[in-house]
Amino acid sequence: MNDNVQPSNDLQALDRLVGTWSVTGGVEGTVRYEWMPGKFFLLQHVELVQYGQVITGFEVIGNLRPFGEPASAEVWSRFYDSTGNTLDYVYEPDGDTLTIWGGAKGSPAYFRGTFTNNGDTLAGDWVYPGGGGYHSTSTRITP
């Protein structure tokens, strides 16, 4: 084990997500982010309603680091929900902009939002292939 390994800068940039958020727009509910000890993985707990369907889930966000290999450059996640789905994403922070790619970076499905209000609001749009998607606003409830 390499004691010099540190969480990547892009992963550390996601520290601004830590806390509980109220989500409105195309989905409604709450999400909560917390660090796993060591801060190599950010955990997201989801309780949302979309199109009348309740979605509860859990997401693990971090750099991939398979056995004996260096950490991936991109911050990947896997989301597990109460209906049996597993969804992969890539998180790309860039200043006050956060892009969450549905699948690999550059995917036609993505969220792009901007942090405002001293980082307590994240508003943007989910874009889906073929013109679908919705606006979403997350407002921090607790740090």
Domain membership flag for residue 126: yes
pLDDT (0 to 100) of residue 135: 97
**Which pLDDT band, with edges at 50, 70 and 90, does 100 fall under?**
very high
* Residue 136: CATH number of its domain: 2.40.128.20
pLDDT score of 131: 84
| Structural domain boundaries, residue 59 | 9-141
Report if residue 56 sits inside a domain.
yes
Per-residue pLDDT of 2-57, as tens digits, reads 556 899 999 999 999 999 999 999 999 999 999 999 999 999 999 999 999 999 99
Structural domain count, the chain = 1
Mean pLDDT of the chain: 95
* Helices (runs of H) and strands (runs of E) counted in the chain: 1, 10
Residue 38 falls inside a structural domain: yes
Give a yes or no: residue 134 inside a domain: yes
List C-alpha distances in Å: 140 to 37, 74, 85, 88, 120.
22, 25, 26, 24, 5
